[in-house]
Amino acid sequence: FVPPVASGGGGAQLCGDLDGNPVTLESWVKGHKDNDRELVQGLKGEPYYLISTPDNIKDFALLSVCTHLGCVVPWSKAANKFCCPCHGSQYDENGKVVRGPAPLSLALAHTTTVKGNLALSPWTEQDFRTNVDPWWK
Ligand code: FES
């Protein structure tokens, strides 16, 4: 059991590393290249992918839990997709489902910083990949 990291303000919750410690944006950028995706402890302690840009991270994070039966979905850099090892579902680089049996795209969260530390907040508006209301609300 890893205790969740402390919550930040404004509905944002700090991201935690494998040990649950906060992660600064500065250290993240130093340790990653453009288009790298790596898991952090996110909302409710669940594993979310942050996506690197050349000098920042994208403004959304992806819950890594497959919408079929809940396996954690690895990122395949070679395929530029998330490929679920359990039953073969695939998601594009933005987490939109492109092959079943998964019925839905990966859940989104907003990325932000709280005093320099990476944080996530709930995504409650339309899913920009499908233009429908989020199923995870
Ligand atoms: Fe991912 Fe079944 S749990 S395809």
Q: What's the whole-number average pLDDT of the chain?
A: 91
Q: Which residue has the higher pLDDT, 72 or 10?
A: 72
Best probe residue, ligand 1, of 62, 63, 86, 91 (max atoms within 8 Å of C-beta): 86
Tell me if 66 CB under 6 Å of ligand 1: yes
Shortest-distance atom of ligand 1 to CA 70: 3
Complex ipTM value: 0.99
Over the stretch 85-100, which tens digit does the pLDDT of each residue have? 999 999 999 999 999 9
Is 125 a residue whose pLDDT tops 60? yes
Q: Give the model's pLDDT for residue 137.
A: 83
Residue 122 Cα distances to 23, 27, 32, 62, 88, angstroms: 18, 23, 24, 11, 28
pTM of the model: 0.90
Tokens 């890594």 belong to residue = 64
Tell me if 68 CB under 6 Å of ligand 1: yes
Nearest CA to ligand 1 atom 4: 87
